[in-house]
Amino acid sequence: MPPPLPLLLLTVLVVAAARPGCEFERNPAGGLEADEALPSGLPPTFIRFSHHSYAQMVRVLRRTASRCAHVARTYSIGRSFDGRELLVIEFSSRPGQHELMEPEVKLIGNIHGNEVAGREMLIYLAQYLCSEYLLGNPRIQRLLNTTRIHLLPSMNPDGYEVAAAEGAGYNGWTSGRQNAQNLDLNRNFPDLTSEYYRLAETRGARSDHIPIPQHYWWGKVAPETKAIMKWMQTIPFVLSASLHGGDLVVSYPFDFSKHPQEEKMFSPTPDEKMFKLLSRAYADVHPMMMDRSENRCGGNFLKRGSIINGADWYSFTGGMSDFNYLHTNCFEITVELGCVKFPPEEALYILWQHNKESLLNFVETVHRGIKGVVTDKFGKPVKNARISVKGIRHDITTAPDGDYWRLLPPGIHIVIAQAPGYAKVIKKVIIPARMKRAGRVDFILQPLGMGPKNFIHGLRRTGPHDPLGGASSLGEATEPDPLRARRQPSADGSKPWWWSYFTSLSTHRPRWLLKY
Ligand SMILES: *[C@@H]1O[C@H](CO)[C@@H](O)[C@H](O)[C@H]1NC(C)=O
Ligand SMILES: [Zn+2]
């Protein structure tokens, strides 16, 4: 008989971090209605709500990054087929570096070259973030201090040129949609969804972090697609949105139906609840997506709150969102910004007004759920450890620094951390309905393979009140009674039994622990 697995069970109570309602609105454009040329006296906060050619886009992003040099920088993730840099502007308290436990978000526009609203929204957003940070907007400061945000306004700059040559109002439905090789970039990613459906039928098989099949490389892979995949391998993205045009709706994975012969069919991921929540974070604060009047476009989505499962809308293979979810830790939604793919310039300011709050609100949802670090008993980070949640068959893995982020909807969740050679650690977390900061849940993994004697010795050494060794936690039910767990700490007003565990992890007292 194998030795019993030293399962550890801890009760973690997460409460909402009260968030002062201190957002204040400022006119970021300083007279944006007046489009007159202000050659010298132009305030740096001025945003020109116009279309941007490739050269203009590059100039604005570079200028913005240098104006906000302490919180922004630009970098290229590669080149388009015709050789244009795929330029990203990044915002972070330490640009260029991943910081421990700081979640990373990406927003991608113009993947279809003729769908240009997203490109402009991200160019404006970059300027807005920079200006508001400098002006001291506490919401934006907090956001940039706690989040690393990457904006790629144009994933398909070559297609854009084709579409822009026709111009707004003249652009057909498809001119410039593809890249310069005539590839649709949102059909060019590896189809991992078919593989997922196979794995999901197999008991015990892992259906996350699915490798790219060899045969994918035999086909035509666009340099833009390759650049995105490489980008995703170098940065531990948690959340992403891809901005499109042609309708007014937010869609979420899967995009590829379980039954390919069906044109459309509801095909949820194991994270259906979270994806709905993420999509609503965008749609619910978007005045046009919520508009019930006649003049709204894409009205057929109104009954669903302007969100829809991608495959339930129309199924397609090789999309970017399915790939994000099935190959990495990143959750990506698709936003259709409006019915006009190439809006006239006059419409751009209104579009920005409609999408600004949605974009901010969406990015802020990266702080939902839990995050933390997984270390061994010496405090050494364990990378590639698996973070599983009971009832959601989709594991998240830790980044090279041992940090992880697990987006989770409100409720009670049983979270398990494991890595080869270590015993599993199980914790219970409660995610409150309102939450603006991810609860911190760290895991310390104990090596497997110690004899039972050594193991018991280890227990004695750590003392009865330390949950790492506490006999009460050993072999206890994996589904604890939440009410019992709630009552457990504090009958006498003293610290709960697991308190020392958390306080010993860091010098910071975890503020989100519920005290009695
Ligand atoms: C953000 O960080 C800057 C620089 O460390 C600091 O001055 C500012 O007070 C912080 N703001 C918020 C809201 O956290
Ligand atoms: Zn599109």
Q: What does the pLDDT read at residue 297? A: 76
Q: Of 292-296, 451-455, 495-499, 500-504, where does the model show the most confidence?
A: 292-296
Predicted confidence (pLDDT) per residue in 401-428, tens digit: 999 999 999 999 999 999 999 999 999 9
Q: What does the pLDDT read at residue 292? A: 82
Q: Which ligand is nearest to the CA of 251?
A: 2
Predicted confidence (pLDDT) per residue in 354-376, tens digit: 999 999 999 999 999 999 999 99
**Residue 249 CA to ligand 2 centre (angstroms):** 12
**Residue 103 CA to ligand 1 centre (angstroms):** 17
Question: Which residues, judged by CB distance below 6 Å to any ligand atom, belong to the binding site of ligand 1?
Answer: 138, 141-142, 145
CB 4 within 8 A of CB 475: yes
**Residue 142 CA to ligand 1 centre (angstroms):** 7
Structure tokens at 465: 């009140």
User: Among candidates 458, 374, 389, which has minimal Cα distance to 420?
Assistant: 374
Nearest protein Cα to ligand 1, atom 12? 142
Tell me the C-alpha distance between 74 and 90, whole Å: 6
Q: Which ligand is nearest to the CA of 185?
A: 2
Nearest protein Cα to ligand 1, atom 2? 145
5-14, 115-124, 183-192, 222-231: least confidently modelled range: 5-14
Q: Which atom of ligand 1 is nearest to the CA of 138?
A: 13
Q: What does the pLDDT read at residue 196? A: 97
Predicted confidence (pLDDT) per residue in 48-105, tens digit: 999 999 999 999 999 999 999 999 999 999 999 999 999 999 999 999 999 999 999 9
pLDDT band of residue 168 (cuts 50, 70, 90) is confident
User: At a CB cut-off of 8 Å and minimum separation 6, what does 200 contact?
Assistant: 207, 393
User: Among candidates 120, 118, 114, 243, which has minimal Cα distance to 169?
Assistant: 114
Matching residue, tokens 């869609």:
251
Mean pLDDT of all residues in 255-266? 86
pLDDT at 432 over 80: yes
**Residue 63 CA to ligand 2 centre (angstroms):** 28
- Which residue did the predictor score with more confidence, 403 or 439? 403
pLDDT at 215 over 50: yes
pLDDT at 155 over 80: yes
Q: List beta partners, residue 429.
A: 12, 413
CB 158 within 8 A of CB 84: yes
- Which residue did the predictor score with more confidence, 502 or 275? 275
35-44, 158-167, 391-400: least confidently modelled range: 35-44
Mean pLDDT of all residues in 233-239? 97
Q: Which atom of ligand 1 is nearest to the CA of 139?
A: 13
Q: What does the pLDDT read at residue 41? A: 64
Nearest protein Cα to ligand 1, atom 9? 141
4-8, 103-107, 187-191, 435-439: least confidently modelled range: 4-8
Name the active-site residue from 90, 132, 224, 336.
Answer: 336
CB 227 within 8 A of CB 152: no
pLDDT at 448 over 80: yes
pLDDT band of residue 145 (cuts 50, 70, 90) is very high
pLDDT band of residue 199 (cuts 50, 70, 90) is very high
pLDDT band of residue 437 (cuts 50, 70, 90) is confident
- Which residue did the predictor score with more confidence, 31 or 296? 296
Active site residue 104: no
The CA distances from residue 506 to 145, 230, 350, in Å, are: 20, 34, 47
**Residue 174 CA to ligand 2 centre (angstroms):** 10
pLDDT at 108 over 90: yes
Q: List beta partners, residue 14.
A: 513
Nearest protein Cα to ligand 1, atom 7? 141
pLDDT at 501 over 60: no
* 3-state helix, strand and coil shares in percent for the chain, rounded to the nearest 5: 30, 20, 50
Q: What does the pLDDT read at residue 263? A: 78
What is the CB neighbour count within 10 angstroms for residue 68? 22
Q: What does the pLDDT read at residue 61? A: 98
Q: Which atom of ligand 1 is nearest to the CA of 146?
A: 14
Q: Which ligand is nearest to the CA of 92?
A: 1
Tell me the C-alpha distance between 172 and 357, whole Å: 30
Nearest protein Cα to ligand 1, atom 13? 142
**Residue 362 CA to ligand 1 centre (angstroms):** 21
Nearest protein Cα to ligand 1, atom 14? 142
Determine the length of the chain.
516
pLDDT at 463 over 70: no
Q: Which ligand is nearest to the CA of 113?
A: 2
